[in-house]
Structure 1
């Protein structure tokens, strides 16, 4: 069985589900955001074993039957509306997360991209940048800091072409309004307000000239690269996430074989089976690493560059589902074989003892 953990409005899941159905897979789609308000989860231990049952409200699942988990974009646990006191809600959420983390650890499944703790570590830009550099990726000079004294030297080293980016999430809320922080090209006006830097760490990098930007999707050992040419867009040329589709060109891109292998190696070295890697191809033909997102968007890569990412994800999930079943069958076969060998050994020993008794 395949378990998909994601928001019920996730368009990416909608792209993959028909492919899984065509492959005859058993699939359950559940959002942990429904737990504990609407979902029920029990982990019971007795007699040296355990059982774990998830009641989604629509069906009851024995999690020992789950062989592949796609941890796509799940919401955080949420208690029911009757739990109104903020500290009580925080406590209830913490209890729910603790139970979920333990249950997922015991599930005999393979994960795309990984369990939560592995994904959280891989998402850290400092960690994955260090790993990319160690594997030979070309990495721009980068400063992670909240020290105002670092800004002017970084600006001067970059010859005045310096950008600032968020270290973690680029989405935030102020006075009830949602905001998103995009890549910012700095100028001298920013230098005069550098004291503000001490309140929130940022990433500082020289502006890397672009022929095109690349979103590289790794699914297991399969690699799909889409080039994003935003040079014609005033709003998206510095950050393609502005999605100016009328002026931005998307196309499939062929990576050099060595770089393709490096993308697979980087993803696996971080404990991931999926990764969305952002690169820049410079006018000089050099590939520069920016970051890897363990659960980054891929729908636009499929829809605008014509790359079959959803098919690859479906293939991976079905193969993982069947691989665990085969491993279990092999374990049973080995156990049965060992038992037969022991029985044969005992029988041979009994015959030898019987012969010794007659002689």
Structure 2
């Protein structure tokens, strides 16, 4: 490493309550890697100064976070974890608040996404591109995965026909992890669930809905990919959507078949990702069906050994930066 690389800091973008980030930050601290932790959405509200200068052949700037001041020209890596959304300071009228929050999003977001020479895990623009649910089966089918029959439609008749035509039944999945608020204001998570074609109404026409053939699975698998390193656990759960009652699931290590590993590499390359949390449904015959890939998925819920290994792999990515 050059002297500049020794001094270059890791920028971690996340909220104050992100205990998953803490696991990696402790590793970086043990390695004596300088780290600046910032939460753009919250720090701007508290008056954290941010400045960026641009001129021909030069880009420089500073960000002052609670931990230290960061030289934006000397950032080795950026870890985009769970930053708070950009919001306007209190006390502004509605129109001014909307203007301020949009300027914060495009201004701060654009600066942080364009740091010279920084290694991103993952780049925020690539995260957003990879989060579009319709893009996932499209990319997965091109990179060698088995993909369940899927339709995304606003046509109630098409939805009913699709669900009727699936021999093993069909399931509904939301296109974004939005909380559904009931009339009393209670937020509810929309879990994956089976669909009876008879219950599909004209309400499907209000917005796109995603329906998918139900996989006759023996178990689920989560593969956490960090660069070229894969960490896989078999998940046994009584629920169709194992996230629903995580206290009832069991996790055990499992090997990733070579064709699936190659497809994971191709998928990450295609979407320019360094990190991805892949979910699979595995049949009794050993077929691995791609369900989704979260480019910023949680992983610290896994058994301690798997969590520790993933944390070390992420720390390795952040420490080495882009030149290794």
TM-score w.r.t. the length of structure 1 is 0.82
Once the two structures are TM-superposed, the CA of residue 49 in structure 1 deviates from its matched residue by 2.8
Once the two structures are TM-superposed, the CA of residue 316 in structure 1 deviates from its matched residue by 1.1
Matched-pair contact (CA < 8 Å) for 1:113–1:294: yes
- Who is 2:122 aligned against? 113
Q: Deviations over 1:95-141 (max 9, x none)?
A: 11121133124312010022x22211111122121111011111011
Whole-Å Cα distance in 1 between the matches of residues 319 and 306 of structure 2? Answer: 25
Matched-pair contact (CA < 8 Å) for 1:52–1:103: no
After TM superposition, the runs of 4+ consecutive aligned structure 1 residues lying more than 6 A away are none
Once the two structures are TM-superposed, the CA of residue 291 in structure 1 deviates from its matched residue by 1.0
Whole-Å Cα distance in 1 between the matches of residues 64 and 222 of structure 2? Answer: 38
Once the two structures are TM-superposed, the CA of residue 80 in structure 1 deviates from its matched residue by 1.9
Gapped regions of structure 1 (runs ≥ 5): 327-359
Q: 1:200 aligns with which of 202, 207, 211?
A: 207
Once the two structures are TM-superposed, the CA of residue 23 in structure 1 deviates from its matched residue by 1.5
Whole-Å Cα distance in 1 between the matches of residues 70 and 40 of structure 2? Answer: 14
Matched-pair contact (CA < 8 Å) for 1:35–1:96: no
Whole-Å Cα distance in 2 between the matches of residues 87 and 271 of structure 1? Answer: 36
- Who is 1:297 aligned against? 298
1:187 aligns with 2:188: no
Q: Report the secondary structure of 1:308's partner residue.
A: helix
Gapped regions of structure 2 (runs ≥ 5): 1-8
Whole-Å Cα distance in 2 between the matches of residues 256 and 219 of structure 1? Answer: 17
> How many residues were matched structurally?
313
Q: 1:222 aligns with which of 208, 221, 229?
A: 229
Q: Report the secondary structure of 1:211's partner residue.
A: strand
Once the two structures are TM-superposed, the CA of residue 44 in structure 1 deviates from its matched residue by 2.5
TM-score w.r.t. the length of structure 2 is 0.91
Q: 2:15 aligns with which of 7, 23, 26?
A: 7
- Who is 2:181 aligned against? 173
Larger relative helix fraction: 1
Q: Report the secondary structure of 1:242's partner residue.
A: coil
Distance 1:173 1:29, change over 3 A: farther
1:77 aligns with 2:86: yes
Q: 1:17 aligns with which of 13, 20, 25?
A: 25
Structure number with larger C-alpha Rg: 1
Whole-Å Cα distance in 2 between the matches of residues 58 and 313 of structure 1? Answer: 21
What pairs with 1:1-359 in structure 2 (closer than 5 Å)?
Answer: 1-38=9-46, 39-45=48-54, 49-83=58-92, 85-108=93-116, 109-114=118-123, 116-159=124-167, 161-174=169-182, 175-191=184-200, 194-230=201-237, 233=238, 237-245=239-247, 247-303=248-304, 308-320=309-321, 323-324=322-323
Q: Report the secondary structure of 2:243's partner residue.
A: helix
Two-structure CA RMSD over aligned residues (Å): 1.9
Whole-Å Cα distance in 2 between the matches of residues 20 and 225 of structure 1? Answer: 24
Distance 1:203 1:68, change over 3 A: same
Whole-Å Cα distance in 1 between the matches of residues 261 and 309 of structure 2? Answer: 17
Distance 1:47 1:316, change over 3 A: closer
Q: Deviations over 1:296-327 (max 9, x none)?
A: 1111224385661111111111111xx54x7x
Q: Deviations over 1:23-64 (max 9, x none)?
A: 221111111112421122111245753321112244221111
Q: Deviations over 1:175-233 (max 9, x none)?
A: 53222100121125513xx2111112211111101111011111011001111111xx3
Once the two structures are TM-superposed, the CA of residue 173 in structure 1 deviates from its matched residue by 3.4
